[in-house]
Structure 1
């Protein structure tokens, strides 16, 4: 029996998007991701040592017979988000805004952290967060 997890494994985050090309450009321009490869209607990105797989939606397949992949249909209902821990939330906010990120609000200081939220073109939620001190 194999161990799980092992040191040689990696984790990939899959995001369902409506337009892979548009999303690829946004992830490159705004977040600084790099394209590792593209195939079919999918794009593999590298970001901060992690993998992001952008795919378009689709119906069930033989190995996931009851599962449909769909981009978010309501950006105000979230079941997952990606969080960037940053040393300077306000500085990251200004940099990302200049690159085209649209934030819900400017950074909010909650005392124990400073954070701000933004979305990708399909509504996936992102957070930048700074722990003061």
Structure 2
């Protein structure tokens, strides 16, 4: 039995539950620049972004391997339990680029002394951050 955990041949995938696959796929592909790796029957889309895996899935009822869990997109965009940070070399430049591609930011970049950061949401309200270390 192999007891190596974690091991170098493992990868982490973030699962995001979305309400509209087309708009979410377009956001991650066209706004963020993620690469679509594969799609499954209109209910799942696997993307690669900066070496990380994102799996977009539409909602679903419990299954035998998660018997009490229902997948559903966020109900309140102002209550967050998961967010992703994209570390960038120039926050202002990344902000301008993403804004020109359709990202809607909560505020322009804010300088906190040790970092400059700002936040935006995907079509379902999942929170993303761009951050520049100073």
The answer, yes or no, to whether TM exceeds 0.5 is yes
Give the match for residue 43 of structure 1: 45
C-alpha distance in 2 between matches for 1:125 and 1:70? 16
TM-score norm. by structure 1 comes to 0.97
Give the match for residue 64 of structure 1: 66
Give the match for residue 105 of structure 1: 107
CA deviations on 1:5-63 (whole Å, 9 max, x unpaired) are 11011110000000111110111110000100001210000100111000001111111
What aligned pairs does 1:1-133 form with structure 2 within 5 A after superposition? 1-2=1-2, 3-40=4-41, 41-132=43-134
Structure 2 unaligned segments of length 5 or more: list them: none
Aligned length in residues: 132
Structure 1 unaligned segments of length 5 or more: list them: none
